[in-house]
Amino acid sequence: MAYFYEEPSRTFNEYLLIPNYSSADCIPANASLRTPLVKFRRGGEPSLSLNIPLVSAVMQSVSDDVMAIALAKEGGLSFIYASQPIEAQAAMVRRVKDYKAGFVLSDSNLRPDQTLADILALKERTGHSTVAVTDDGSQNGRLIGIVTGRDYRVTRMDENTPVREFMTPIEKIVSAPEGTTLKEANNIIWDHKLNTLPVLDAEGRLIALVFRKDYTSNKENLLELTDSLKRYVVGAGINTRDYKERAAALVEAGADVLCVDSSEGFTEWQKIVLSHIRETYGDSVKVGAGNIVDRDGFLFLAESGADFVKVGIGGGSICITREMKGIGRGQATAVIEVSRARDEYFEKTGIYVPICSDGGIVHDYHMTLALAMGSDFCMLGRYFARFDESPSNKVIVGGNYMKEYWGEGSLRARNWQRYDLGEAEFRQLAFEEGVDSYVPYAGSLHDNLGITLHKIRSTMCNCGALTLQEFQKKARITPVSSMSIVEGGAHDVYLKDNMGMPIKK
């Protein structure tokens, strides 16, 4: 006979936090959202931490290089989706790592005999408006000049105009010698009122570029997540199929952390992938695994070498795994049980393995509940898909702006495989576990995320906590009845937005 759980599995909607005493110092401005991303030993520090407890999901419609850069600026992390060719995914990782490094390797380069048309095509491909003109058009060629958007006007120039005729020549460019420190480079930029400073070797060959905007960005985004070289931190998904080749390419491209992307993680396949990573790279490559929903699943992945464990099956807004297969668990119940298992494992082994709540989050306060229940960070798909920075299209549906959003288990997400794996394997997708949908367009990530984070910090203060670790210790959580849920929203009033125009006297 099957094993039956006596208690029903519950969602975040079924819980509320009870306030604690809070001191005068317990205000949102003093609250820290820093949290570990990967495992560490008792008394030590994780090699990777997040400045905010949010990461974007390993999904085509959510996490590309644009989202990764935007989220890293805010202190979070994106896991660039794996359902694409290896070379394309690695290229996205490189673009993130090259975007802000203090000293940036130029990836927009042309020869002086090329034309304005080539400049426009290069800008369309890379999104960069600054182009280095080198003698051979290479990244490290002898610098001849620089072209920016101020050097040409498309409406007044022939696209066949050679670059040498409108570039700023090397004679008029302020540069810095090889060996210049970042602080010295920024001082030169400030003293000469520059936007771009090329760094050259003794023979005039281009070493790197330093941008004024990178310094400004660092001062404006105090929580931005960077590595030891001041490059943005980025994650990437891998699968249980081509993981050897994909992991190697992503590590070479500079990915800071990998994540096995699978709807169900309590499998030998995940252990095989984790074993390969450990045998090949030791502990130098960080990799998370999942997804699981109970104690046994967590212990399996922790003992298999996972650096963090994702919790959640079937709770995502576009996921229909429960409907198709009858497998899953209420997200709140899953997080609570796995958090207890994580703490028990820590007490027993001295190794703290962070857990990530993935799915089941609809409202901002659900994130706060997930953190209070023991999650170290949350992985979000629908939330980030709504923003300008997500890779999906913005469309008008019923007179309203929407963003396209589809699951990795949907037919749409799998379409790329037909070109790489052949029709036979593509047709093995006998049924879908995700849907193709729309979500309301919400504008920029920065504006919306700021509100969400303020809500989390404010709730922490209501509970008398100034750190996430303190929050988890002090949080008092109560289940709620269906009527309590109704009572918690606006009720027994007529909302103004739903009423007609007022009558003029």
User: Are residues 57 and 217 in contact, defined by beta-carbon separation less than 8 angstroms?
Assistant: no
User: Are residues 301 and 295 in contact, defined by beta-carbon separation less than 8 angstroms?
Assistant: no
Catalytic annotation present for 418: yes
Token pair belonging to 161? 């105009």
**HEC sequence for 37-54:** CCCEECCCCCCCEECCCE
Q: Determine the 3-state secondary structure of 160 from DSSP.
A: coil
Dist. CA 145–CA 147, nearest whole Å: 7
Catalytic annotation present for 319: yes
Token pair belonging to 251? 């590590």
User: Are residues 228 and 77 in contact, defined by beta-carbon separation less than 8 angstroms?
Assistant: no
Q: Spot the catalytic one: 111, 278, 295, 418.
A: 418
Count of alpha carbons within 13 angstroms of residue 330, beta-carbon side: 14
**HEC sequence for 63-101:** CCHHHHHHHHHHCCEEEECCCCCHHHHHHHHHHHHHHCC
Scan for tokens 């996972």, then name that residue.
306
Exposure b/e, 381-408, CB count within 10 A at least 16 = b: bbbbbbbbbbbbeeeeeeeeebbbbbbb
Residue (of 314, 256, 267) closest to 290 by Cα position: 267
Q: Spot the catalytic one: 231, 246, 319, 457.
A: 319
Q: Kindly list the strands in the beta sheet with 400-406, ordered across the sheet, starting from the edge strand earlier in the chain.
A: 394-397, 400-406, 436-440
For residue 291, whether the previous peptide bond is cis, meaning omega lies within 30 degrees of 0, is yes
User: Are residues 134 and 141 in contact, defined by beta-carbon separation less than 8 angstroms?
Assistant: yes
How distant, in Å, are the alpha carbons of 131, 138, 184 from that of 159?
16, 22, 38
Scan for tokens 């993935």, then name that residue.
358
Dist. CA 189–CA 144, nearest whole Å: 20
Dist. CA 138–CA 145, nearest whole Å: 13
Scan for tokens 């093995």, then name that residue.
428
Active site residues: 319, 418
